[in-house]
């Protein structure tokens, strides 16, 4: 029985019906939404990214050689769609004063924007590791498998990303403390 299952996996998606493919996508919708929302931080954009991903999965379904990797393959497509959307957003980035107006008086909102800004400054592969590890609770091994990299590489990227985030947040907090002391003194 195992041998027969393996041979059906190796066939990829070429012989899958539309219903089978859609059922498989449906079973992963929560995971997809979580990843898209973690990247885009907006429900409408996340849903659009998922829609675009489904279209790309359908159009490229014959390129997947082994259906065992369907979820990994689909999530990689989703991440690429999200990264494309982030690039588009960067070109339309509002000014800092506009961001403060949007955030309102709550310091927590402003701090959260600061963390998102720091995440946006990371290299794409560092950001991907942070999002998958801390927003999606994936293990190092799962991330390595998805990104097709060795575990050690993922651990290194995670370490470097966290180090960079700590440094950036420390600089920002240091600057804020300095400004407060100057105002008080």
- What's the rounded Cα separation, in Å, for the pair 12 and 10? 5
Q: Note the pTM of the prediction, 2 decimals.
A: 0.57
Among candidate residues 84, 155, 90, the one with its CA nearest the CA of residue 126: 155
CATH of the domain at 142: 1.10.10.10
- In tens digits, the chain (185 residues) has pLDDT values of 444 444 444 456 667 788 888 899 999 999 999 999 888 888 999 999 999 999 999 888 888 888 888 999 999 999 999 988 888 877 655 444 444 444 444 444 444 556 777 887 888 888 888 888 887 788 899 888 888 899 999 999 999 999 998 888 777 666 555 555 555 55
Domain assignment present for residue 100? The answer is no
Count of domains for the chain: 2
Domain assignment present for residue 64? The answer is yes
């Amino acid at each position: 029985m195992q041998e027969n299952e393996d041979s059906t996996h190796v066939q990829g998606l070429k012989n899958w019906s539309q219903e089978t493919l859609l059922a498989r996508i449906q079973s992963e919708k929560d995971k997809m939404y979580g990843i898209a929302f973690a990247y885009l931080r907006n429900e409408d954009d996340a849903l659009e990214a998922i829609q675009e991903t489904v279209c790309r999965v359908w159009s490229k379904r014959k390129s997947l050689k082994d259906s065992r990797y369907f979820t990994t393959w689909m999530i990689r497509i989703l991440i690429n769609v999200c990264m494309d959307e982030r690039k588009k957003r960067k070109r339309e980035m509002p000014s800092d004063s506009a961001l403060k107006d949007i955030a309102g008086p709550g310091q927590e909102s402003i701090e959260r924007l600061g963390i998102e800004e720091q995440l946006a400054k990371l290299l794409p592969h560092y950001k991907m590791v942070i999002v998958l590890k801390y927003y999606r609770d994936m293990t190092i091994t799962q991330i390595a498998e998805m990104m097709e990299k060795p575990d050690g590489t993922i651990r290194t990227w995670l370490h470097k990303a966290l180090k960079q985030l700590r440094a950036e947040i420390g600089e920002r907090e240091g600057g804020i403390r300095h400004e407060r002391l100057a105002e008080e003194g």
